[in-house]
Amino acid sequence: MTQLIKGNTGDWEIVIGLEVHAQISTHSKLFSGASITFGQEPNMNVSFIDAGMPGMLPVINEKAIEQAVRTGLAIGAQINLKSVFDRKNYFYADLPQGYQISQFLDPIVGKGEIILDMPEGQKKVGVTRIHMEQDAGKSLHEYNPKYSYIDLNRAGVALMEIVSEPDMRSADEAAAYIKKLRSILRYIGSCDGDMDKGNLRADANVSVRKPGGPLGTRCEIKNVNSVRFLHKAIEFEAMRQVEIIESGGTIDQETRLFDSTKGETRTMRSKEDAHDYRYFPDPDLLPLEITQEYVDAIRASLPELPDEKKQRYIDTFGLSPYDAGVIVAEQEYASYYEALVKVAEPKLAANWMTSELFGRLNKLGVELQDSPIGASAFAELLALITNNTISGKIAKDVLDKMFATGKSASVIVEEEGLQQVTDTGAIEKVIDEVIAANPDKVAEYKGGKDKLFAFFVGQVMKASGGKANPAAVNDLLKQKLS
């Protein structure tokens, strides 16, 4: 939904486009055989090619091509059978060749789109293009006051740059876009989406305008590496721009950095300082040509994607779009869920998974894949609810005990005698005791105070230690009190 900023001169609309850099999941770099293993000692993953040694030549990593095509297909994009690698020329100490090999005019993937599930409904965000490029190395300034050190482990690592249209209108939409994109990338295995390791990072182009008016001047916020920071950076930047314009200033097109500790953006370089990258086709590489058969084979190997899976859950399991959306967001969630519905009622399973299970995991700060309660253990608990062995209320206590003890649901129910009482004789006995103990309330109820029915239910449940079957209690109470 468009998030309007209330300014002194009226409402302002935020316009956002994102350039996401996703590290392509491969074993080696884009143009060399060097490993891309994370967390190595500096300069351990460096070939002569990555170090820009004289006479060294790039050779394309075929796995990277396949992953870029997979990604394009997963967002319904056009795949370009011919694409070209260009050189983007600039000097920096962590760029050994003095140029980055990237795709400029002819990227491998053209227009596609990503569908966001926003609270008010679906929103489509256009993807302009996806191209492949090399990552740069890293400059380390903190070890010596006089010198900088260079770590080339990342130099030459394969990246996809996924460029969106300026279609987003709020920080929420930008956050949803990143999450959805990340989900798709992880489904198809083309990027692990690990933002902590810098394997997925975003540049945000932000401008403001009067709703429906002409586009304002944009600023680019570089290298934001978490969804939360992206949200903050966009909100800060939009407010900054509104304040400048409303106080009579103009926005300078520039590149800005987000300072996560101060929660603000600041100038990195102005347009005047912008590099002239002198792009030209890399003469060390021939144009990249792939065949339609190659593309079709990759298409046939794609897994069920989040949007397809979500629709299937809605259609076959009757889930709400919201629950379905939460469950399909991660492939691990979906496979956990699919294990549950083999034994449990699908809607019950969805509710219990997204509220009770995720709630408890959140408190522990644990991801589902590291959950102490596996899918079969959780499914057993749900089965006990479905077959009326325990009530939902008791089941929540059982789940807590499962987390605490690691015991299975049936063992806990057995050990603690929590089986639901469905024996009408036993329930009748309790009801009779409750009626006998509250003659005045019975009189009031019979005198027309219907609301007291809930009081009797509560008393019966309490007396049965919560084990009485609630439906049976309702039926019998109605008979006895009539």
Chain residues in the site for other proteins (CB under 8 A): 48, 51-60, 87, 89, 91-93, 96-99, 148, 150, 276, 278-280, 282-286
Q: State the nearest-atom distance from the C-beta of 134 to other proteins, in Å.
A: 14
Q: State the nearest-atom distance from the C-beta of 282 to other proteins, in Å.
A: 8
Cβ-based nearer residue to other proteins, 266 or 278: 278
Cβ-based nearer residue to other proteins, 76 or 281: 281
Cβ-based nearer residue to other proteins, 87 or 360: 87
Cβ-based nearer residue to other proteins, 154 or 310: 154
Q: State the nearest-atom distance from the C-beta of 148 to other proteins, in Å.
A: 8
Cβ-based nearer residue to other proteins, 37 or 148: 148
Q: State the nearest-atom distance from the C-beta of 106 to other proteins, in Å.
A: 14
Q: State the nearest-atom distance from the C-beta of 62 to other proteins, in Å.
A: 12
Cβ-based nearer residue to other proteins, 31 or 337: 31
Cβ-based nearer residue to other proteins, 31 or 258: 31
Q: State the nearest-atom distance from the C-beta of 1 to other proteins, in Å.
A: 39
Cβ-based nearer residue to other proteins, 27 or 278: 278
Q: State the nearest-atom distance from the C-beta of 95 to other proteins, in Å.
A: 9
Q: What is the 3-state secondary structure (H, E, C) of the chain?
A: CCCEEEECCEEEEEEEEEEEEEECCCCECCCCCCECCCCCCCCCCCCCCCCCCCCCCCCCCHHHHHHHHHHHHHCCCCECCEECCEEEECCCCCCCCCEEEECCCCCCECCEEEEEEECCEEEEEEEEEEEEEECCCEEECCCCCCCCEEECCCCCCEEEEEEECCCECCHHHHHHHHHHHHHHHHHHCCCCCCCCCCCEEEEEEEEEECCCCCCCCCEEEEEECCHHHHHHHHHHHHHHHHHHHHCCCCCCCEEEEEECCCCEEEEEEEHHHCCCCCCEECCCCCCEECCHHHHHHHHHCCCCCHHHHHHHHHHHHCCCHHHHHHHHCCHHHHHHHHHHCCCCCHHHHHHHHHHHHHHHHHHHCCCHHHCCCCHHHHHHHHHHHHCCCCCHHHHHHHHHHHHHHCCCHHHHHHHHCCCCECCHHHHHHHHHHHHHHCHHHHHHHHCCCCCHHHHHHHHHHHHCCCCECHHHHHHHHHHHHC
Q: State the nearest-atom distance from the C-beta of 149 to other proteins, in Å.
A: 11
